[in-house]
Chain A
């Protein structure tokens, strides 16, 4: 008997116009690892909340259909009966932790079960051991790093020893190392402990390890099957605003029949299909790169041997020097705590160096006013909700220009242009709080854009966005750069850095370990490994072929399509029909 049975489930949030879940049917067997994927607002979190009865008991709305977990109907049992059977870990780890000691955080749930103290102690030890947090048992959760906090949030649910574990986007806010830790834990729980797991995840590369993928769109399950099969359907994934595997996408676009999921498979297929890179591709790429470099203007931001430490004595920056020239597109990469944000905050004077100096347009940030700094360097914060306060989008965007003392008419003109750039001019009178996260992020970008800064610094502009929103955001940023704005982006997302940035600054422990053109930095995989960063699939694959290629599109431009009909007749047939179909479509 399946441990989770969902039948004909419909749910509509109170005050919402549309159903968040529509006719969802899902059976999950004991010991399965199910990865749920889909765009934002596709109903993934809503689905999680129905498992332990938060929906319909705590979150009210129109509920139809049936959710049965371990034989219990969630409509008949309250959360107080279900919580020990379905452990739910939320996306936002900050608001899940409320104890002052790691051990007590983990103890909280079994305490509520009313278990004897010895049993609670045993469960704490087990949960901390599984998550590798034993050494931190006496620490205060608030002093842990983001990754440790997320592991602790998981440990504090593991101590319930539930039959079903459900993680709602556990890795969204984490850096690559910590993402990997969470994935390893998931795999270990699944393989060694036969734990039933339901994981909502955006990272396609990690979903390969799952048993099964459930793909959702607009509240419906649109595909449900073995991970390897679903991941080969890169069109469907893209339709659902889920990032396809780069290699699968590449070979699909090259017209291959069997799509590779891993580097090994891709290498094999590359050989058997006799595919080749164009001999002149390296020159083409280098030519394009140096053309970009020629278009840069004079330095906008100069950082000179900057040292900085926070209260409490942690050295955040230890002698950082760099120059950002007009028109550049720079990505700063590195793990949490490597000094990225500290550096970025120096670029617009939010932080002033303890030693060394930062010059913006030639003047020292120490002697510039907030308005002066704002006019020169705009800073887009990670979470748009930390700045939005007006009731109309247009007023929000006008706030910056007004504060900088720009006269009314020009301010309105600039706000209009900014909103047109992000595509929100038509919706200018709407309340920003009713927008999706992706849209709110665009409002935040527009509100910086409206002040017409010479350079824009963005701290993780894509956190929490789905693939569709993320591509939109990044093409917006790319457009800004092409229109002459200097861009500095902090990101954990390697493919974004590879595909969009011209230059990479790699940070580790408060210093710069690499600074150079994107292609050169990504060619040095040893450097990336030292900074604990893994290059995107496509980059790793191209490095194996001897030429560093940064995106699928670039790869397609570099490939010579040779289909060996004798070697792979099915492939060739498939290619012919697909071309014919494409031709038909073009004609109509």
Chain B
């Protein structure tokens, strides 16, 4: 199983310079956040959907479908019960609250999906070097991409620990909330201790391979801004301006 979100595919999005993709991602955040009507938000969502299609990243998005579903449901529920406007639909649910809930859910989903599409089409190292070339210090970029890398490692350790405790009779998700929380102690302790130990080893391995040793580091990946990058950037800029103009 692939523990990363990145999928090696040959698409126009994969071929873009990571700097372009970082800028597109930032612009997408704005494009997705500014809408104040559901229709506008849907339009922004469609843009994101097109981007995902171009990056052939729907399978990656599908990997977090459960998470997206939970976020969508909770956003609509929570915003739906907070009073807003006068028009009562049913009991205490008001029309405006519901609309706002749906609007917010679309925005959040669009942002999450755009983020996933970015990670699906950009290698960790490309993100690092893209950020470095944009002026972010290397150590910070490395920390960022390592954090991304550690998520699957964490999940893997977690799965093993769950199996080990389950085979000793630990039932997870049974009984009262308090009992359920207590059931997590036997899981969290080994996960943290194993992870701390691994992090320590990784620090030594990094030193042994000269991390941060020389002042000037070379990057094996060479970045190049091509015509396609300019086209993508210009298109993004147009959508960005249009979106802001429509919203205000």
List residues of chain A with CB under 8 Å of any chain B CB. 49, 52, 54, 58-59, 79-81, 83-84, 87-88, 90, 92, 94-96, 98-101, 103-104, 107-117, 120-121, 124, 138, 140, 142-143, 156-157, 160, 310-312, 345, 348, 350, 369-371, 373-375, 378-379, 381, 383, 385-389, 399-400, 403-404, 433, 447-448, 451
**B-chain residues with CB within 8 Å of residue A112 when the two chains form the complex:** 209-214, 217
A95-B167 CB under 8 A given contacts A79-B207, A100-B6, A138-B8:
no
Contact check, A451 vs B168: say whether CB atoms are below 8 A apart.
yes
**Cβ contact within 8 Å between A114 and B1:** no
Q: Are A109 and B1 in contact (CB under 8 A)?
A: no
Q: Are A100 and B125 in contact (CB under 8 A)?
A: yes
Inter-chain contact B169/A350, CB cutoff 8 Å: no
- Contact indicator per residue, chain B 189-203, by CB within 8 Å of chain A (1) or not (0): 110011001110111
Query: Which of B124, B161, B168, B171 interacts with A100 by CB under 8 Å?
Result: B124
Q: Is B146 an interface residue (CB 8 A)?
A: yes
Contacting residues, chain A, for B164 (C-beta < 8 A): 379, 381, 386-387
Q: Is the CB of A387 within 8 A of B216?
A: no
Residue from the list B2, B210, B219 in contact with A113, Cβ < 8 A: B210
Tell me how far the C-beta of A77 lies from the nearest C-beta in chain B, rounded to whole angstroms.
Answer: 11
Closest to A378 in B: B167
CA distance A83 to B213 in the complex (A): 9
Asked if B220 and A348 sit within 8 Å, CB to CB, the answer is no
Query: Which of B170, B205, B211 is A370 in contact with, Cβ under 8 Å?
Result: B170
Contacts of B125 in A (CB 8 A): 99-101, 104
CB-contact partner of A374 in B149, B157, B167, under 8 A: B167
Q: Is the CB of B207 within 8 A of A404?
A: no
Q: A142-B4, A387-B165 are in contact. Are A117 and B218 (CB under 8 A)?
A: yes
**A386 CA / B160 CA spacing, docked (Å):** 7
Chain B contacts for A370, CB-based, 8 A: 166-167, 169-171
By size class, the interface of chain B is 35 or more
| Chain B minimum-CB-distance residue to A156 | B209
* Residues on A with beta carbons closer than 8 Å to the beta carbon of B161: 386-387
B12 at the interface (CB under 8 A from A): no
Distance in angstroms between the alpha carbons of A466 and B218 in the assembled complex: 42
Q: Residues of A contacting B215 with CB < 8 Å?
A: 114
Is the Cβ of A350 less than 8 Å from the Cβ of B198?
Answer: no
Chain B positions near chain A (C-beta within 8 angstroms)? 1-4, 6, 8, 123-125, 146, 149, 152-153, 157, 160-161, 163-171, 185-186, 189-190, 193-194, 197-199, 201-222
- Judge whether A80 and B169 touch: CB under 8 Å: no
Known A114-B216, A140-B2, A386-B160; judge A109-B209 contact (CB<8 A): yes
Q: Shortest beta-carbon distance, A433 to chain B, in Å? A: 7
Cβ contact within 8 Å between A95 and B168: no
Nearest opposing residue in chain A for B1, CB measure: A312
The reply to whether A87 and B1 contact each other, CB–CB distance below 8 Å, is: no
Give the residue of A95, A108, A160, A350 whose beta carbon is less than 8 angstroms from that of B166: A350
**Nearest CB in chain B to that of A402: its residue:** B169
- Chain B: CB-nearest residue to A314: B1
Query: Is A389's CB under 8 angstroms from B169's CB?
Result: no
Which of A101, A124, A386 has its CB near the most chain B CB atoms (within 10 A)? A386
Cα–Cα, bound, A54→B9 (Å): 40
Q: Tell me the complex Cα distance, A44–B80, Å.
A: 63
Task: Enumerate chain A residues within 8 angstroms of B152, measured Cβ to Cβ.
Answer: 142
Nearest-CB residue, chain B, relative to A106:
B220
Distance to closest chain B CB from A61 (angstroms): 14
- In the complex, the answer to whether A385 meets B190 with C-beta atoms within 8 Å is yes
Residue on B nearest A369 in the bound complex, by CB: B171
Residues of A contacting B6 in the complex (Cβ-Cβ under 8 angstroms): 100, 140
